[in-house]
């Protein structure tokens, strides 16, 4: 009965404590570093994909299509240097994100992309489904 409760099962041991301490301090590294958030809307004859990529220039975003896989890759590399008197301060910021999507039922020749205010928007037109006409087969 207790396993059906919507609460996490607590195990008091050193390994779980250290693992939870790391997750609480750094966050979930797999979710935060390698992916970006996307929304996909069904708009009837096409899908609209919205990907949050704040802080990237349009030139930093690359969209590749290989077979039935659409890959969005964004890479940001920035260096600033400020000199005041004898003090030098350098700041570097680097980030790279990549995500792939299956576009099997998409008309890939008509995909449109735009980037405004940190949001990449792709219009993914659906393939027209052709239904074969029913026919009768005569038995001989």
Complete DSSP assignment for the chain: -GGGSSSPPP--SHHHHHHHHHHHHH--HHHHHS---EEEEE-SSEEEEEEE-TT--GGGEEEEEETTEEEEEEEEEEEEEEEETTEEEEEEEEEEEEEEEE-TTB-GGG-EEEEETTEEEEEEEBPPPPPPPP------
Over residues 30-39, the mean pLDDT reads 67
Residue 20 pLDDT > 80: no
- Write down the mean pLDDT value for the chain: 78
Half-sphere exposure of residue 14, counting CA atoms within 13 Å on the CB side? 0
Residue 124 pLDDT > 70: yes
Note the pLDDT of residue 4: 43
Alpha carbon distance 128, 6 (integer Å): 44
Tens digit of each residue's pLDDT (9 = 90 or more) over 102-111: 998 899 999 9
The model carries a pTM of 0.62
Over residues 114-133, the mean pLDDT reads 91
Tens digit of each residue's pLDDT (9 = 90 or more) over 37-91: 999 999 999 999 999 998 888 999 999 999 889 999 998 776 655 556 666 665 6
Q: Domains in the chain, ordered, with CATH?
A: 36-125 (2.60.40.790)
């Amino acid at each position: 009965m207790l396993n059906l409760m919507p609460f996490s099962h607590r195990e008091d041991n050193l390994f779980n404590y250290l693992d939870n301490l790391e997750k609480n301090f750094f966050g979930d590294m797999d979710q935060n570093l390698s992916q970006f958030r996307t929304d996909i809307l069904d708009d009837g004859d096409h899908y609209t994909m919205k990907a949050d990529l704040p802080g990237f220039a349009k030139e930093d975003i690359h969209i590749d299509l290989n077979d039935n896989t659409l890959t969005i890759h964004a890479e940001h590399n920035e260096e600033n240097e400020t000199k005041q008197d004898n003090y030098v301060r350098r700041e570097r910021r680097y980030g790279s994100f990549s995500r792939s999507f299956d576009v099997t039922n998409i008309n890939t020749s008509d995909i449109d992309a735009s980037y405004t205010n940190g949001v990449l928007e792709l219009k993914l037109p659906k393939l027209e489904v052709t239904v074969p006409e029913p026919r009768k087969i005569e038995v001989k």
